[in-house]
Amino acid sequence: MKYTKRTFIYPIFERFWHWSQAALIITLGLTGFEIHGTYRLVGFGNAVSIHNTAAILLLVLVAFTIFWHFATGQWKQYVPTTQKLGAVIRYYAIGIFKHEPHPVRRTRYTKLNPLQKLVYLGFKLLIFPIMATTGLLYMFSNTLGIPISPIAFLHVLGAFLLISFFVTHLYIVLTTGRTPLTHLKPMITGWEALEEDDHAAPQAAPEPSAD
Ligand code: HEM
């Protein structure tokens, strides 16, 4: 028999870095494309100062977040696996539209399904490093005496990849739950109703810690 159990899944620091990273990336995206000349919002000069400040804040946040992932062992959530990867891709392409059950059950020990592990790891190891490296080279291109156009090209390319991730992420969060708030609320409150089998109850997770 299956039942749902309210489980503490996102500790406070994880929610803090998730939402501050989101706010900083939105700010960087909005000001970045003003710098690029796509539209006018706050004026070019302001866009540059806001972009530079948000970029430094993001780099500091990421440094703390990397430390947190290693200090708590949460980095293990992102170790990629091919097990059930095909089943999850098939589910999001076909199964979900036929109301089939999700092929992977979420627990506080495996918060991410194989597709999320791969995509989030790609974000951390590919997209973010591209943005940070090209952004810092852009910032110090005068001092370093390096040409700006290849750097700007890669920075904008990374920005497009990041925006594609962001749009897909939002779409999936808001449309695949029972209601649009189903997947959003746990990242605000820390608690999520997770499905469990009857026999899993005696080995239920220990009391949540505040780490
Ligand atoms: C991670 C740290 C980041 C750093 C250090 C950084 C740094 C910079 C710098 C120094 C500039 C040039 C500003 C100027 O003209 O003086 C710039 C431009 C830009 N940034 Fe970033 N940035 C970062 C993240 C982001 C993110 C996350 C996005 C998008 C979501 C973004 C999008 C852009 C865009 C579109 C431009 C305009 C490029 C052009 O057309 O030349 N940046 N960034």
Model pLDDT, residue 206? 43
| Structural domain spans, the chain | 2-200
d(CA 53, CA 31): 11
- Three-state secondary structure readout of the chain: CEEEEEEECCCHHHHHHHHHHHHHHHHHHHHHHHHHCCCCCCCHHHHHHHHHHHHHHHHHHHHHHHHHHHHHCHHHHHCCCCCCHHHHHHHHHCHHHHCCCCCCCCCCCCCCCHHHHHHHHHHHHHHHHHHHHHHHHHHCHHHHCCCCHHHHHHHHHHHHHHHHHHHHHHHHHHHCCCCCCCCCCHHHHCEEEEEEEHHHHHHCCCCCCCC
Span 22-43, mean pLDDT? 98
Q: How far is the CA of 36 from the centre of ligand 1 (A)?
A: 9
Of the listed ranges 109-123, 158-172, 195-209, the one predicted with least confidence: 195-209
Q: Is the CB of 119 under 6 A from ligand 1?
A: no
List pLDDT tens digits, range 114-151: 999 999 999 999 999 999 999 999 999 999 999 999 99
Q: Is the CB of 51 under 6 A from ligand 1?
A: yes
Q: Is the CB of 54 under 6 A from ligand 1?
A: no
Q: Which residues pair with 192 in a beta bridge?
A: 7
Going by C-alpha positions, the residue among 152, 79, 68 that lies closest to residue 110 is 79
List pLDDT tens digits, range 168-184: 999 999 999 999 999 99
Q: How far is the CA of 155 from the centre of ligand 1 (A)?
A: 6
- Contact, 34 vs 40, CB < 8 A? yes
Q: What is the reported pTM?
A: 0.90
Q: Which residues pair with 4 in a beta bridge?
A: 195
- Contact, 185 vs 97, CB < 8 A? no
Q: How far is the CA of 21 from the centre of ligand 1 (A)?
A: 15
Model pLDDT, residue 196? 75
Q: Is the CB of 158 under 6 A from ligand 1?
A: no
d(CA 83, CA 16): 30
Q: Is the CB of 50 under 6 A from ligand 1?
A: no
Domain 2-200: CATH class, spelled out: mainly alpha
Distances (CA, A) of 114 to 94, 111, 138, 169, 171: 17, 10, 35, 15, 18
